[in-house]
């Protein structure tokens, strides 16, 4: 998929986590998680700019998703250590989940294309594809984007605290 599709997939995948954060009255983390998801959405495609790395190779695997999640988890830990161990644990978990889910959303968007992905590399070189739409299919890309925006809008509308009467 192209960027609009990956942004939509990231928003769609992040929506349940955003809902949970808003439900626990953590709007700052909810917004941060959404922003991180959008920032990470195109990361696996950076392989196109790195010589000697095959497109949809190592950066399109579950292993890569876990590595990115681990890096964001470590960043969360470091960011939270000043506030205590419990905060560090929570921010590490937050970073780990957001990082992993963002990369997994990219993989799910690419698995619908004929080129597919090899998500279980290095354990398996088997390619998985649903062959639903080409990566350059504008309708598929913007449909994913619309679904993601709709999911986030729905989350915000149903988890918004009621305003006190005027």
- 80 found inside a domain: yes
d(CA 90, CA 26): 12
User: Does residue 107 sit within a domain?
Assistant: yes
Domain extent at residue 113: 3-159
pLDDT tens, residue by residue, 26-66: 999 999 999 999 999 999 999 999 999 999 999 999 999 99
Residue 164 lies in a domain: no
Please state whether the predicted TM-score (pTM) of the whole model is above 0.85. Answer: yes
Cα gap 106→83, rounded to integer Å: 33
Q: Classify residue 76: in a domain, yes or no.
A: yes
The distance of Cα 101 from the centroid of its chain, to the nearest Å, equals 4
DSSP-derived 3-state class of residue 2: coil
- Split into its structural domains, the chain has a count of 1
């Amino acid at each position: 998929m192209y960027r609009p599709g990956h942004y939509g997939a990231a928003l769609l995948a992040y929506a349940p986590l955003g809902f949970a954060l808003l439900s626990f009255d953590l709007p700052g983390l909810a917004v941060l998680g959404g922003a991180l998801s959008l920032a990470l959405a195109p990361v696996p495609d950076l392989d196109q700019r790195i010589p000697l790395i095959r497109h949809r190779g190592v950066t399109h695997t579950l292993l890569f998703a876990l590595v990115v999640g681990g890096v964001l988890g470590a960043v969360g830990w470091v960011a939270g250590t000043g506030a205590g161990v419990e905060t560090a644990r929570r921010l590490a978990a937050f970073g780990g989940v957001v990082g992993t889910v963002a990369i997994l959303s990219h993989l799910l968007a690419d698995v619908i294309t004929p080129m597919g992905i090899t998500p279980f590399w290095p354990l398996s070189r088997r390619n998985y594809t649903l062959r639903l739409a080409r990566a350059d299919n504008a309708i598929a890309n913007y449909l994913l984007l619309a679904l993601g925006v709709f999911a986030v809008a729905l989350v915000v509308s149903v988890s918004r605290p009621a305003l006190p009467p005027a």
